[in-house]
Amino acid sequence: MKRMITSLVAALSVTLLLPSLPAVAETAQVIDARVDSAIATFKEDVNGAEVFLDQSAGYLVFPRVIKIGLGFGAETGEGALRVRGRSVEYYRTTSGSFGLQLGAQAKSIVIAFMTLDSLDKFRNSSGWKVGVDGSVAIIDLGAGKQINTTNIRDPVVGFIFGSKGLMYNLTLEGTKISKLTK
C-alpha cells in the first residue's frame, strides 16, 4: 500500500510539473533563432565544432531540452535539422524514464549525421528511436576541448552540452524523435 501511494504521489508530482514544459509548439522562426544560438554556443565551447559540423551530411539541433523527474521522468524539446547550414525540417524529441530521479534539467543536444546514408535513413523514418532505428555515439566534451574528426568514425554522433540543473544523464538511449509540421 505504501509503495502504491508513493508511486501515485510521484506520478501526480510529475503531472503537476509537466505544464512547465513547452506545451505549445514553437514557430519555425523561434526554433531557428534558438538553434542559431545553440550552435554559436557549441562552436564557442568546443574547438573544431565548426569544421566538424561542416563535414557532416546534416545535423539535428535541439537547443533546449527540458527534463523533469520525481520517480517518473519526462523530457521534451523542439529543434531543427540543418543541411548545408539551412533548416530543412523540424523535430520534437521526447523520452520518459522511471527510477531514482528528482529534479529538473535543461540541456542542448546536437546530433550529427556524418554520412549521407545515415541522414537519409533518419529523414525517411516515421519516428526515429535512438537505439532501435539507429545508434548515436555520444561524444563527451567539456568546455574548451577539441573535436578530433580523425578519431570519430561513427555514422551518427551526439553531443550533449550546456546542462543546467540537478540531473545529468549522458545518454539518448530510448529517445524518440518525431517530425513536426511547421
For 21-72, how does the pLDDT look when each residue is reduced to its tens digit (9 = 90+)?
A: 444 567 999 999 999 999 999 888 888 888 889 999 999 999 999 988 777 7
pLDDT at 72: 77
Average predicted confidence (pLDDT) for the chain:
77
Query: What is the torsional sign of CA 117, 120, 122, 126?
Result: negative
| Cell numbers representing residue 146 in the block | 577539441
- What is the residue range of 136's domain? 2-180
What is the distance between the alpha carbons of residues 150 and 51, in angstroms, rounded to a whole number? 12
pLDDT at 2: 46
Domain count, the chain: 1
Q: Which residues pair with 105 in a beta bridge?
A: 67, 165
Give whole-number Cα distances, 70 to 73, 156, 165, 175, in Å: 6, 31, 14, 19
Nearest to 75 by CA among 156, 174, 180, 150: 174
Q: What is the DSSP letter of 110?
A: E
Do the Cβ atoms of 158 and 139 come closer than 8 Å?
Answer: yes
User: 3-state class of 165 per DSSP?
Assistant: strand
pTM: 0.76
